Structure 1
């Protein structure tokens, strides 16, 4: 069984969904420490041809607490602001009528827990894209508690009876292929192909939120994009 384990991000970029698409089970790693300067609570959308911040408001953010120990701030009030910003940004986009109801459902979702809320949004987008991967919260697994880094990842993989662990390309330095091999688990990393799509008349802006991809591309087009990656080993030069 192919497994991936990643922190939850706020409407992450398409490479995150390539990873989800590539595995049988995706573990939302929500019981690790919150990272303020990461992508857990922020992303970028396109406004007037330029990247613009799109953020999730969180109460009392702290890197000393776990992701799953955080709560959203004023979700009802802030949801209206977020939806207004998305309407302004994408009301002329070709897929707006199809995508906006999905975004509205996710953004209005009443869940206050940050880990569960982000997991809900990620899974809703995945289902919209036709991805059937199974989702699990690490906080509900109770696997490898007290362990850190690679040791805990291995424990989770062993509990799920994984035969192949996959991660994003920027995680290569975190894992030792020999250690995984000794545990009977293959180790691979997804290297996303360079890709562009029609965002309008201005220069293309890469690596935006999946929101931008969905607003400009049809579901069949995105499904084709989800396959545009290579699996590489950290034993080989990339």
Structure 2
């Protein structure tokens, strides 16, 4: 069984989705410290031909809190504002009519928890793309938050009977393949290839945007091809 662990990111970029699609079980690491100005509640869209950063407002967010302890702001207007921004940017995109109902369902999900909002959004994306990856919140099952870094990753792998663990390439200096091998787990790192597609006929592709951008310009079959554009090292 192949496993990956990542903090929950809202409408993440395609590299995150590549990792999710590459494994059997994907753990949403939601009981670790919240990161200010990270990607848990922010991402980028293509608006009026420019990269646009949107942020979901939170209430009393702090790095002293775990992600699953952070709540959405009380003012619900951000949902309509975000949907209007998406409409403004993508209403002329080829798959807008198909993707916008999914987007509305994700953004309007009833919860006051950023962790739950993100978890649900990834479940919806998983289903839309026909992926079979099992999604689990780390706070819901493992009871090992006292463990740190590699030790905790290994413990989750053991509890899940994982034979392979895949990590983003950025963590290649953080984990020791030999230690994983000693516990019967093969450690690999995912490295995304260059992914490009047409954005309103532009000649200059703008990368690293939300998966929503890819969905607006590609059908499901096309997205599945893009999800496979990586190598394991």
State the TM bucket, normalised to the shorter chain: over 0.9
1:148 maps to what in 2? 148
User: In the aligned structure 1, how far is the partner of 2:199 from the partner of 2:124?
Assistant: 23
User: In the aligned structure 2, how far is the partner of 1:109 from the partner of 1:15?
Assistant: 24
Q: CA deviation at 1:168?
A: 1.1
Q: Rate the CA distance shift 1:180–1:100 in 2: closer, same or farther, 3 A.
A: same
1:215 maps to what in 2? 216
User: In the aligned structure 2, how far is the partner of 1:131 from the partner of 1:75?
Assistant: 34
User: In the aligned structure 1, how far is the partner of 2:60 from the partner of 2:182?
Assistant: 42
Give yes or no for the alignment of 1:161 onto 2:161.
Answer: yes
Give yes or no for contact 1:10–1:56 (8 Å, CA) kept in 2: no
With normalisation by structure 1, the TM-score equals: 0.95
2:230 maps to what in 1? 229
2:76 maps to what in 1? 76
Offset from partner CA, 1:144-164 (integer Å, 9 cap, x none): 221111111111111111110
Give yes or no for contact 2:31–2:145 (8 Å, CA) kept in 1: no
User: In the aligned structure 2, how far is the partner of 1:155 from the partner of 1:52?
Assistant: 39
User: In the aligned structure 1, how far is the partner of 2:142 from the partner of 2:188?
Assistant: 25
- Point out where structure 1 has 5 or more consecutive residues left out of the alignment: 233-238
2:35 maps to what in 1? 35
With normalisation by structure 2, the TM-score equals: 0.97
Q: CA deviation at 1:37?
A: 2.5
Q: CA deviation at 1:49?
A: 1.4
Secondary structure class of the residue paired with 1:225: helix
Give yes or no for contact 1:68–1:113 (8 Å, CA) kept in 2: yes
Say what the alpha-carbon RMSD is for the aligned residues: 1.0
Offset from partner CA, 1:154-181 (integer Å, 9 cap, x none): 1111111111001111121221111101
Residue correspondences, number: 232
